[in-house]
A and B are shown apart, each in its own frame.
Chain A
């Protein structure tokens, strides 16, 4: 194994460890961690299987194999960001509905309390 392979393997392993530890500590929910785990597994494959990059480069018609990494990273990054935007939107909608519901209930509660006081 080349030195760069060992280093990238260790780095990927480290990242995987961090992701798993964050999930274990409940700082990332399982459903949100899945995409991270998949990304890291890909990184591991790249670092172990040195020819994979060259194979991909050949398929994509890229002459300089390491250049494959950049678009690949970008792709994963973009997918992750999109995924989080979707989650943020969903949460936004949920928070809005919750807040509206609470506000309406609070009005009702105030009304009932005022009625009780007057009785």
Chain B
């Protein structure tokens, strides 16, 4: 659901900043989804200690993966925002309908 909100933002909005926010929402959506996949009801933190059985632990692997994915998302967002700033310097607008020197 959240994913669709983000996708709507990317596809439908005309402001560059709103597109970037849409992308961010999409990334959160997929990260949340992945973490939820590993969730067990009444689970506990996946820390291996003595005299605790491993049966009701939350699956730790998605958490590790999502951590990586968040970092990647950060890099992409930082890069896109820096590009957006440069675009604003060149064009003086954030409206993508006015930014079209390229056509094909």
Note whether A and B form a binding pair: no
Listed in ascending order, the chain A residues whose CB lies under 8 Å from chain B are none
Which residues of B are at the interface with A, using a C-beta cutoff of 8 A?
none
